[in-house]
Amino acid sequence: MAEDKKARKGTTNILGMFPQAQIQEFKEAFGMMDVNRDGFIDVSDLKAIHNDLGRNPSDKDLNEMLKECPGQLNFTAFLTLFGEKMHGTDSETTFRQAFEQFDPEKKGKLSEEYVKDLLLNVGDQFKEEEIRQVWKEAKPHGGLFDYDAFVTLVKRGPQDEMAQ
């Protein structure tokens, strides 16, 4: 019970969203889907799984399935997709697209002052302390807030944790 509460605790680390036993179940499911055992689920893996189930989807349909994942579908990405679906959070793509609405050139960075102004004056307005917390986790560099890195941090956790 305490483990389940800890697993549901808000965290940027996807592994913290699930109890260890459930992560192990996901690992087993991922292993079954990774037919060619290369550590990634790709079109050939999905095709083999569907064929085993008596289905024959087109490559276009299989590629559409894989588009839900930004980048290659490794175990961490697999777990992230399940976490988003089970915990009702927006996908990484949706989250990034929200920032892109304020970045017409789609550079992945916004002016620190512009972001601060938005946080203070638009929607659910932040307090100065809340902005300091955001900057503590995602420090602007050279007056720019790197929202691409921030989205990755929020959705996947710190990059050094992902290597584990």
Q: What digits encode the pLDDT tens for the residues 57-111?
A: 899 999 988 988 888 999 988 988 887 776 666 777 888 888 898 898 989 999 9
Which secondary-structure segment (H or E) carries 140?
Answer: none
Q: Please give the angle made by the CA atoms of 14, 16 and 20, to the nearest 5 degrees.
A: 110
Closest CA to 95 of 12, 10, 24: 12
Q: What residues contact residue 90 under an 8 Å CB cut-off, 6+ apart?
A: 84, 98
Dist CA 81 CA 121 (whole Å):
32
Entry pTM: 0.48
Q: Residue 112's pLDDT band (boundaries 50, 70, 90)?
A: very high
Higher pLDDT, residue 58 or 162: 58
Closest CA to 116 of 148, 140, 93: 140
Dist CA 138 CA 69 (whole Å):
23
Is a pLDDT exceeding 60 seen at residue 163?
A: no
Q: Which pLDDT value is given to residue 159?
A: 62
Please state the rounded mean pLDDT for residues 105-128: 90
Q: Which pLDDT value is given to residue 74?
A: 93
